[in-house]
Amino acid sequence: MPSSTASRTPLLAVSGATLVAADQSGVARCGPREPSGPYGRLLAVPGARAFVVWGLLARLPMGMFGVGAVLMISAARGSYALAGAVTATGLAATAVVAPWTARLVDRYGQARVAVPAAAVAALASLALVACVRYGAPTWTLFAAYAATATTPNNGGMARARWAYLLRDDPAARHTANSFEQAADEACFMLGPVLAAFLCTSLFPEAGTLAGAAMFLTGTVLFAAQRRTEPPPAPRVAAGRGSGRPVVLLGVFVCTGALFGSLEVVTIGFADALGHRPAAGAVLGLQAAGSCAAGLLYGLLRPAGEAGARFRRALAGMAGMAFLPLLAAATGSLLVLAGALLLAGMATAPTMVTGMGLVQSTAPAGRLNESMTLAVTALLAGIAAGSAAGGWSVEHLGAATGYAVPVTAAVLALITATAGRAGA
Q: Is 396 helix (H, G, I), strand (E, B) or coil?
A: helix
Average pLDDT of the residues in 253-264: 86
Regarding beta strands 18-22 and 12-15, do their DSSP bridges make them parallel or antiparallel, or are they unpaired?
Answer: antiparallel
Most confident segment among 18-22, 131-135, 407-411: 407-411
**Rounded to an integer, what distance in angstroms lies between the CA atom of residue 244 and that of residue 378?**
17
| Burial profile 267-303: b = 16 or more Cβ within 10 angstroms, e = fewer | bbbbebeeeeebbbebbbbbbbbbbbbbbebbeeebe
Of the two residues 257 and 382, the one the predictor is more confident about is: 257
Let me know if 78 is exposed, middle or buried by CB neighbors in 10 A (0-12, 13-18, 19+): exposed
Could you give phi then psi for residue 18, rounded to 5 degrees? -110, 130
* Residue 120: per-residue pLDDT: 94
Average pLDDT of the residues in 103-117: 88
Average pLDDT of the residues in 264-283: 78
Query: Does an H or E element contain 115, and which?
Result: helix 110-133
Tell which residue, 42, 55, 54, has the closest CA to residue 155: 55
Chain segment 144-182, per-residue pLDDT in tens: 999 998 988 888 888 888 888 888 888 888 888 888 878
In this model, does residue 31 exceed pLDDT 50? no
Of the two residues 126 and 181, the one the predictor is more confident about is: 126
Helix/strand/coil percentages in the chain, nearest 5: 75, 5, 20
* Residue 1: per-residue pLDDT: 43
First CA to last CA distance, the chain: 79
| Burial profile 360-379: b = 16 or more Cβ within 10 angstroms, e = fewer | ebbbebbbbbbbbbbbbbbb
What DSSP letter does each residue of 66-78 carry, written as one string? Answer: HHHHHHHHHHHHS
| Cα→Cα distances 3→10, 11, 23, 39, 143, Å | 15, 18, 20, 50, 87
**Which amino acid makes up residue 386?**
S
Q: Are 207 and 374 in contact (CB under 8 A)?
A: no
Indicate yes or no: pTM above 0.85: no
- Least confident interval from 74-78, 221-225, 233-237, 373-377: 233-237
Spatial strand order in the sheet of 28-30: 12-15, 18-22, 28-30
Q: Is 366 helix (H, G, I), strand (E, B) or coil?
A: coil
Structural domains present in the chain: 41-232 (1.20.1250.20), 243-423 (1.20.1250.20)
Across the chain, mean pLDDT equals 80
**Polymer length in residues for the chain:** 423
Most confident segment among 48-52, 181-185, 224-228, 402-406: 402-406
**Rounded to an integer, what distance in angstroms lies between the CA atom of residue 378 and that of residue 372?**
10
**DSSP state at residue 300:** S
**Rounded to an integer, what distance in angstroms lies between the CA atom of residue 361 and that of residue 359?**
6
Of the two residues 181 and 124, the one the predictor is more confident about is: 124
**Rounded to an integer, what distance in angstroms lies between the CA atom of residue 122 and that of residue 211?**
9
Average pLDDT of the residues in 249-269: 86
* Residue 23: per-residue pLDDT: 44
Chain segment 215-253, per-residue pLDDT in tens: 999 999 999 988 888 888 766 444 444 456 788 888 999
Q: How many percent of the chain have pLDDT more than 70?
A: 86
**Rounded to an integer, what distance in angstroms lies between the CA atom of residue 204 and that of residue 316?**
41
In this model, does residue 2 exceed pLDDT 60? no
Q: Are 294 and 181 in contact (CB under 8 A)?
A: yes
* Residue 420: per-residue pLDDT: 64
**Rounded to an integer, what distance in angstroms lies between the CA atom of residue 57 and that of residue 117?**
17
* Residue 33: per-residue pLDDT: 59
